[in-house]
Amino acid sequence: MSDTNGSTPARTKPGGHERVTLARVAELAGVAESTASRVINGYTENFRVRPEVRSRVLEAARKLNYRPNPMVRSISAKKTNLVAVVGWASDGVNRTALAEAVRVLKAGGKHVCTTFLDPDYGGHELPSWRVDGAIALQVRDPADVVELEQQALPYVSINGHAGPGGDAITFDEAQGTGLAIEHLAALGHERFAYCFLDKLRPSPRGIRHAAVLKRQNALIDGLAERGLPAPAGVDGFGLDPISYCRECIIGAGATAVVAFDDVVGSYLIQALHTLGRSVPEDVSVVSFNDELPSRMASPPLTTVALPAAEAGRLAGEMLLERLSTEDAIEHRDIVLPEVLVERRSTGAPKS
């Protein structure tokens, strides 16, 4: 329960430390509690406070590490300073991006909140409380942002679609796939496979992420430009890792496989080992994302790294920009380049 000035009553935390109240701040500053409340919460319109009094209040709050209750402050404020996270942080790329966005937003004075991130929900639902803006994760269907668009809520979408009222930050999948082709072709590979396994990377509501098809098409086009055969395995997404390796890599004579992400790449290495094939001696594996599984695989995965932290930083900055102005900002699409990180899962094919 909070007091009417937006502070939290004195209570003892589990560690034995008493929570700081607004009354204690006012007492240390030598002012009335109402004055301390106005200074801390910024309610100084038609209410003059001498500079030295303001300084004493702010210094007292700093010394006591006092934090106003943002929910109570929002009751009388025009803005809540709350930003909602909507969508599903399913993997390392999205979690990394979100963590960086939260850091930027908190530094900008915003509090970030979320509801349960249900991957099977048919939309990106806002919380039941009032918020000023939103970070949307993995928007796979334009219908998912209808609520955000209808409410004219400022928002930025990370790794997914955004409507005309928001911004989208995505990754250059064609450019990144081109790096993988160039690397493998320079090693001498001519027969490729492309692997996305539905059983390993479930698609919420049956909608695969747009990157699945973008990487597949970029691989097909890139190999065709080099006069190389189309990749095997694009019709084997429903298989388990062992069956996929047996039918779409070994059976197709592929010496290199481009895996959708580090998780799929790690499973392929295990499956190939089970089938008596070594990586990279028999088959080279390139994955995407460069999150934790890539460095823990044996051998460590050569991967196309997505700049997730940069995406999160830009999302936070762009949302702060939208929240700081009443002027209309046109829709922006930011596409970030990817980088190849070479490790030990790729090598020259056997003659």
Per-residue pLDDT tens digits for 64-80: 888 766 555 554 456 78
Say if residue 141 is in the same domain as residue 179: no
The tokens describing 214, both together, are 């973008």
CA distance 89 to 209: 13
241 and 200 Cβ atoms separated by less than 8 Å:
yes
Say if residue 301 is in the same domain as residue 179: yes
Residue range 271-280: mean pLDDT, rounded? 97
Say if residue 233 is in the same domain as residue 147: no
Q: What is the pLDDT of residues 201-224, one digit of tens each?
A: 877 778 899 999 999 999 999 999
| 319-324 long-range Cβ contacts below 8 angstroms, 24+ apart | 319/83, 319/101, 319/105, 319/133, 319/135, 319/154, 319/155, 319/156, 319/167, 320/104, 320/105, 320/108, 320/110, 322/133, 322/154, 322/155, 322/156, 322/167, 323/79, 323/83, 323/110, 323/132, 323/133, 323/154
Say if residue 208 is in the same domain as residue 290: yes
User: Among 31, 61, 76, which residue terminates a domain?
Assistant: 76
Q: Are strands 302-305 and 284-289 parallel, antiparallel or unpaired?
A: parallel
Say if residue 213 is in the same domain as residue 194: yes
pLDDT for residue 281 is more than 80: yes
Q: What is the pLDDT of residues 7-66, one digit of tens each?
A: 444 444 444 456 688 889 899 999 988 888 878 766 655 567 788 888 898 898 888 888
SS3 content of the chain, % helix, strand, coil (to 5): 40, 15, 45
Say if residue 199 is in the same domain as residue 290: yes
Q: What pLDDT does 123 receive?
A: 59
Q: What pLDDT does 54 receive?
A: 85
Q: Are strands 167-171 and 339-341 parallel, antiparallel or unpaired?
A: unpaired
Say if residue 290 is in the same domain as residue 317: no
Say if residue 298 is in the same domain as residue 188: yes
Q: What pLDDT does 207 receive?
A: 86
Within a domain: 226: yes
Say if residue 167 is in the same domain as residue 315: yes
Say if residue 148 is in the same domain as residue 158: yes
Within a domain: 152: yes
Within a domain: 44: yes
Residues facing 111 on adjacent strands: 82
Within a domain: 205: yes
CATH classification of the domain holding 229: 3.40.50.2300
The tokens describing 15, both together, are 């560690």
The tokens describing 87, both together, are 């969508």
Q: Give start and end residues of each alpha helix (H) in 298-351.
A: 308-323
CATH classification of the domain holding 72: 1.10.260
Residues facing 289 on adjacent strands: 305
Average pLDDT over the chain, rounded to whole? 87
Say if residue 323 is in the same domain as residue 289: no
Q: What pLDDT does 222 receive?
A: 98
CA distance 233 to 248: 5
Q: Identify whether 164 is preceded by a cis peptide bond (ω within 30 of 0).
A: no
Say if residue 69 is in the same domain as residue 88: no
User: Among 57, 76, 95, which residue terminates a domain?
Assistant: 76
Within a domain: 4: no
68 and 42 Cβ atoms separated by less than 8 Å:
no
Q: What pLDDT does 3 receive?
A: 44
High-pLDDT (> 90) share of the chain, %: 60
Within a domain: 271: yes
pLDDT for residue 313 is more than 90: yes
CA distance 157 to 142: 11
- Domain total for the chain? 3
AA letter at 310: E
Domain span including residue 42: 22-76
Residue range 87-114: mean pLDDT, rounded? 89
194 and 184 Cβ atoms separated by less than 8 Å:
no
Q: What is the pLDDT of residues 213-256, one digit of tens each?
A: 999 999 999 999 999 999 999 999 999 999 999 999 999 999 99
Within a domain: 37: yes
Within a domain: 14: no
